Structure 1
């Protein structure tokens, strides 16, 4: 509830006249609904669509009194946070005390003054708004801390794994490359040795070609290089605690440079034809320079552009035109960068896990599942910013980065 004027208030009273008076009092200020007994109040309170932001509750009602209604509201996780204000003719101290004991937020005795009711309602709605905001911030920060701790532990593990497998991989790659070199007709020693063994090098090469052995070697080389790239990502991930120094930089120059790099990048042109993607730039020209680590930030943006290009390449819609939007703006003391695409989007269960290490939706051999985790770490830990994603099936994806100014 970011705006209390949009708040929903539930009036619970078995007297129609009391409901009428309160409804008139709240009209035009809030959205007020009313029920005449406790059972209906509890039913509406748990409704996903009609759940109130505040309840005005009478005490003396048949079947279930207001005290019991309040007790049940406070026992239910879904309704525990709804402020309850008792409005009742029972104005004795013990009645008021009991009201607070069962969980009421406030207690107004009848007959009441309209200005008092208005002030109490407004005050408790404001308090609820701020409490909800603080709870949301706490939950977000808790998720960030858990994520950071998980990444730190993972970084230590990855560093050990990377060092253990780096040497064997280098040995395999070196062996394959030396094999190609020992079979090359451009090296005179190869020709001389093959003749000394009673065989022409060209015949040996033709045999290897006919038996597809060169292809096997090429596959070994390609996949070994991919494994080395994964190891490199692991080591970069594990070294993230050594934060480089940030400098003041023009974010728009950085974005333009990375777009140019993406357009000219061989792999992107080869796999996703990035040059055929329309890139729309919506820059806030009034945005000041921001403190950042330029190459780290560009790595994040490049990764988002590459992911967007791959997602759009998978769209099989007729007359589809791939579009990426790059937008900058200012929100308070933060610079906001948005990278959006018009690809197929992602389901909610995927969106929630998209920053988890090793989580990937790409096919075998197409990704390590570390790119977005590293990007998230760069933004949240190195730059002390925020990174989030909005997406839905058929709606594309929008990644938002907020950096402190």
Structure 2
């Protein structure tokens, strides 16, 4: 139903929001521009994430406290952004996009180097962050703002402008190098363009064009990126080297069985066979300790968040809200799909964390800021007549 409402809204038909009576006194949720169901599901997901993190981090309460404090900051950011009207977001779009682009250039010139990549900017003694995370919101915000002021579906000239808006930041992020983030940033903007009403014929043309460009992409990949693809195709070719991560991950998930070994009882994670178990591979800890049932419960929660987000996007008053809201929630879905896919061995390892479960600060703030935008779009909508 959410998909049908979203498609109906993008074609210009009104999607009636619930409870549109003007005489009724507004509830606390309406006054604060928050969606109680979405907020509740996000909070439940964060609590579950902290429980899994405690086990994945080797029962280090310090890691849980650090992550909890980041969640608190992220929730405050979400609540604050939810109070900003969509019209203000529309006006700010060029500034946010331009600021993010300048920070990416600054990373290229004076960024901090860590683990062989230049991805961070730091203010000594104050803050260290990844500007590429900001572009996960700035990119769809800018593309949605541009397309919302033009006739939909977009024409060739508009698509060319969108291609330039997308291409420059993506290339800068890919040079850091950070292929996973560059693909996520690109997908966030591409979702806006797709939701704007591209024909299936044009989408098929783009798919053929992308397939034809694969050899060129392969030639320009770094050696470690090529190795990840080859390891994905045959992890047993180097079981003690490049294939170690995915072999240990699938072993941990498989050993959990139906009900799991129990919280804090996972052998692959507790005995430190599983690498990056508190970040990229935290799903393997979840599968080993809580089994298939536990994984299905968490994945169902993710699915409910996506469905609710699509419904909120479909109920937006204008094309800007529908395009931006739809892109935000579909990008969230891609996060989940890519992380679970790479940990279970059906996708190459690209270093994408599981939203609000994996350990991380900047990504949590970015994700909840996106949900704040989604709540703002829904909370500030004009009530359609019955």
TM-score of the aligned structures, taking structure 2 as reference length? 0.26
Higher-helix-fraction structure: 2
Larger CA Rg, structure 1 vs 2: 1
TM-score of the aligned structures, taking structure 1 as reference length? 0.25
More relative contact order, 1 or 2 (CA 8 Å, 6+ apart): 2
